Amino acid sequence: MPKYNPSKIEKKWQKKWQEQDLYKAVDFDKRPKKYIMVEFPYPSGDGLHMGHLRSYCSLDALARKKRMEGFNVLFPMGWDAFGLPTENYAIKTGIHPAKVTKDNIATFKKQMKSIGLSFDWSREIDSTDPKYYKWSQWIFIQFFKKGLAYQSKMPINWCPSCKIGLANEEVIGGKCERCGAETSRKTLKQWMLKITAYADRLIDDLEKVDYVEKIKRQQINWIGRSYGTEIDFKVVGSEDVINVFTTRADTSFGITAMVIAPEHSLLEKLITKENKSKVKAYVAASKKKSEFERTQLDKEKTGVFSGSYCINPVNNEKVPIWISDYVVATYGGGAVMIVPAHDKRDYQFAEKYDLEIREVISGGNVSKQSYIDYGTLVNSGQFSGLDSKTAIEKITVWLIKNKVGKKTVNYKLRDWVFSRQHYWGEPIPIIHCQKCGVRSVPEKDLPVKLPYVKKYEPTGTGESPLADIKEWVNVKCPECNGPAKRETDTMPNWAGSSWYFLRYIDSKNDKKFAAPEKLEYWLPVDLYNGGMEHTTLHLLYSRFWHKFLYDLGHVPTIEPYQRRYSHGVVLAEDGRKMSKSFGNVIKPKNVVDQYGADTLRVYEMFVGPFDQMISWSTEGVHGCFRFLNKVLALFNDESKITGKNDKGLITKLHQVVKKVDEDLDSMKFNTAIAAMMEFVNIWSENNRVLSKKDAQIFLSILSPFAPHLAEELWSSLDNKQSIFKQPWPEYDKKLIKQEIWQLIIQINGKVRDKVEVKQGISEKQVKELALAQEKVQKWLNNKKPKKIIYIPNRLVNLVV
RNA sequence: GCCGUGGUGGUGGAAUUGGUAUACACGCACGACUUAAAAUCGUGUCCCUUUAUGGGAUGUGGGUUCGAGUCCCACCCGCGGCACCA
């Protein structure tokens, strides 16, 4: 009897599949198309992670099933290879980032192939390839031409000791990750993308896609659209006006202070002489804090009085103007009206600085805590007695009439800072000419290649390392031919990943990012799977780029992804993140060497619900290995596959086919495998046999999960063609109906008895049967049930 | 803190979406095979009382319902995101 030797059969079939070109997606094929995509990985030096594989194995199973169902499946893979870790590694080791990237990609690809993933490698892409980033740059130029890419002064994290800009991730507790020095903020001119211009559509078009509700929620909350009122507060003794945005105009009569952000444009004018030094010190201190720190609710609020006042238009009261860093400069005009009685943060602020807490909405006890719910207005002049909702409307109308306010919409979403002062990214294709100004690089000159140099260390001035490469920076202006300089900032890692799903469709095209007919055929992506951690930023960014391209007529669909699904993280056995520093990383290669790729695949899918976080368990892997061994043993046992008609087992088989079919489509990989295990356990029982034909049906449903073993057993049954060229089996709807089912008899909701009954039994019969049971009689104790509830095919509940 | 999400045996989890809680798998215990171990096979395995019957249990507390892991309210804990990690 041949023993299960995964390494031998897996290599054999991987080779054969490659020779047969089994997974090639065919442009314009007559079969219906199915575009299934998993997020392309960042090829880090650590190699493929178990978390990557969880997504790849599961979606691979689905892709395989869809091919068997007759779809023309596009299931591609590529590399999101620009980024900070590679650059930092290169600086540390002196190995060029291009070389690091190339090596890492080779490792990743080899590992993927060893798992038997059915990617169409002919469409492979690499975001660091000039042939690829040419089009990232081209899209940027389109943004620039439409005025959606613009320059603005923005703060970055700055380490005064290392003299480099830092990513948020590199700032830990306000200190530089590398040297421990206290970081500050440095303002630089940065390229921005105007994503806010698409805010409404990014919310509204979610109605057109089938993302799970929680993902939609996160997108909507991130954009944070709120309808409200803008109110003008005149500064006392000046012509200046402070605009404030509020969603709670009904609380206007409770305003007892005004607070502006330290970055507010009127700040300088508002400070009175006696408060100058205090304010200056406060502003300097707040510059050191990150926005995250500043807005944390649990932290104690700080602030200083400016010395100035403004006028509350609804009651003409004089209101003191304060400065506090919990106010965000970029949201709602950078000023907040303080209504201590009806806002949590305002309440804290008022208690600390002894401001008046004036109740204007009844319903709570504002001497103890803020009352933030809607209610009835009090102490609000002519508006007293109204409910909050009506009052918001009426007060807003009053403000508009008196020309001191208007209705507005506000978004939490901010424009996208698109500049990075790093070497390992796509150069921004812009030329700065002293005479002509800012000009985009002519499209015929694309790509602007990243110069291959030995030195890519930071410059010390905050500028990109590219700024030091004089021969690259100095160019002629494309318009006047005079002396000009290249933009030295590069794009963020997000750039390449914002449109890569389009490039897979036509990855070799050098005239366009993709041919329109091919885009027409393949778009949208039918299913896009990736990590939970990408459901706000990456997803939003790529939707934004796609919509922009749609507006220019370059893509045929409004949305890029029809369905988005997110998988949970894979933690280590100890419940912590798999990390080198914890020493708890499980390498895919070791598992493949010991158990084979099929076992690893089955385990990755069996371990738990796909969308939830799971912990790795080496012992669990062993269980999956045992399952595959049992399958092999059954097929090696001639007495198990005969022509006999085992009706009970065939019914079970068709039930499993149905279960696997439905579970795969709804991404419930774990229960699909559990059902197959259950079936194999029953089949293994004495005297349980299948016909060859039925045994092959089982192989078909197993094949997406354990492709190598299924293909091996399939060929051992004298089949010449690959199992993946076979149609997906259909189940017999008549066969799976149970003739007998178990009636649960409950008394007051507790199970007291179980009886087997025939399909089609009437309600009356069920009730009579239930009452006739000995146990039921005992529990009823001669009493008559008050009520009888019958759930067909399930249970009957007698209420006493 | 804000937004999202989760909490079920010793462990990973299942539960027809309001209808038998603990499928499947791991681990453990006992048995078979073996000189022995591993592997494999078989039996058992939520807790309490028990010959049986019975009672209790899905993070905690309350509620709705004939019936709640599932719905509602409050609280506790874990995880992801928070805009320059990808």
**Three-point CA angle A514, A472, A452, nearest 5°:** 70
Nucleotide closest to A608 measured between CA and C1': B13
Nucleotide closest to A217 measured between CA and C1': B4
CA-to-C1' span, A536 to B83 (A): 10
Nucleotide closest to A629 measured between CA and C1': B40
List Cα–Cα distances, A597 to A6, A150, A536, A594, in angstroms.
7, 49, 33, 9
CA-to-C1' span, A795 to B55 (A): 23
What's the confidence (pLDDT) of residue A290? 66
* Amino acid identity at A223: I
What's the confidence (pLDDT) of residue A1? 46
CA-to-C1' span, A748 to B18 (A): 15
Nucleotide closest to A345 measured between CA and C1': B1
CA proximity to A440, closest of A221, A208, A231, A149:
A149
Nucleotide closest to A747 measured between CA and C1': B66
Residue A483: strand, helix, or coil: strand
Give chain A's end-to-end CA distance (angstroms, integer). 62
Residue nearest to nucleotide B20 (CA to C1'): A744
CA-to-C1' span, A623 to B31 (A): 22
CA-to-C1' span, A363 to B84 (A): 45
Chunked in runs of 10, what are the mean pLDDT values of chain A (800 residues)?
81 95 96 97 91 95 97 97 92 92 96 96 97 98 97 88 86 83 86 96 94 91 93 92 92 93 87 89 78 63 89 94 85 86 86 89 81 88 91 94 93 93 95 95 95 84 89 94 95 96 97 97 96 92 98 97 92 80 85 94 94 87 94 90 81 94 95 96 89 94 97 94 96 84 86 84 85 82 82 86
CA-to-C1' span, A435 to B3 (A): 47
Which positions of chain B lie under 7 Å from any protein Cβ? 1-6, 11-16, 19-21, 23-27, 39-42, 54-55, 66-68, 78-86
Helix, strand, coil percentages, rounded to 5, for chain A = 40, 20, 40
Distance CA(A320)–CA(A356), nearest Å, equals: 11
CA-to-C1' span, A652 to B80 (A): 40
Residue nearest to nucleotide B12 (CA to C1'): A607
CA proximity to A421, closest of A693, A622, A741, A167:
A167
CA-to-C1' span, A140 to B71 (A): 49
CA-to-C1' span, A560 to B77 (A): 38
Nucleotide closest to A751 measured between CA and C1': B20
C-alpha A423: how far from chain center:
27
CA-to-C1' span, A792 to B41 (A): 41
CA-to-C1' span, A534 to B3 (A): 14
Distance CA(A191)–CA(A141), nearest Å, equals: 12
Residue nearest to nucleotide B16 (CA to C1'): A794
C-alpha A156: how far from chain center:
25
Nucleotide closest to A682 measured between CA and C1': B24
Question: Where is A571: in which H helix or E strand?
Answer: strand A570-571
Q: Tokens representing A130?
A: 């000039």
Nucleotide closest to A753 measured between CA and C1': B20
CA-to-C1' span, A794 to B70 (A): 17
User: How many of the other CB atoms lie within 10 Å of CB of A323?
Assistant: 26
**pTM for the whole thing?**
0.93
Task: Name the β-bridge partners of A320.
Answer: A309
Distance CA(A514)–CA(A504), nearest Å, equals: 8
Task: Name the β-bridge partners of A37.
Answer: A528
Distance CA(A355)–CA(A378), nearest Å, equals: 19
CA-to-C1' span, A637 to B44 (A): 29
Nucleotide closest to A799 measured between CA and C1': B66
Q: Tokens representing A144?
A: 């620039």
Nucleotide closest to A633 measured between CA and C1': B40
CA-to-C1' span, A18 to B12 (A): 35
CA-to-C1' span, A366 to B74 (A): 21
Nucleotide closest to A42 measured between CA and C1': B86
Residue A745: strand, helix, or coil: strand
* Amino acid identity at A788: I
CA-to-C1' span, A259 to B3 (A): 25
Nucleotide closest to A425 measured between CA and C1': B84
CA-to-C1' span, A634 to B29 (A): 29
What are the two backbone dihedrals, phi and then psi, of residue A191, each rounded to the nearest 5 degrees? -80, 140
CA-to-C1' span, A659 to B20 (A): 21
CA-to-C1' span, A439 to B3 (A): 40
Nucleotide closest to A497 measured between CA and C1': B86
Nucleotide closest to A494 measured between CA and C1': B86
Distance CA(A302)–CA(A262), nearest Å, equals: 12
Q: Tokens representing A728?
A: 């997906």
Distance CA(A504)–CA(A687), nearest Å, equals: 51
Nucleotide closest to A778 measured between CA and C1': B53
Cβ-proximal residues to A172 (8 Å cutoff; 6+ apart), any chain:
none
Residue A61 C-beta-side C-alpha neighbours within 13 Å: 34
What are the two backbone dihedrals, phi and then psi, of residue A405, each rounded to the nearest 5 degrees? -175, 170
Contact A141, A445 (CB under 8 A): no
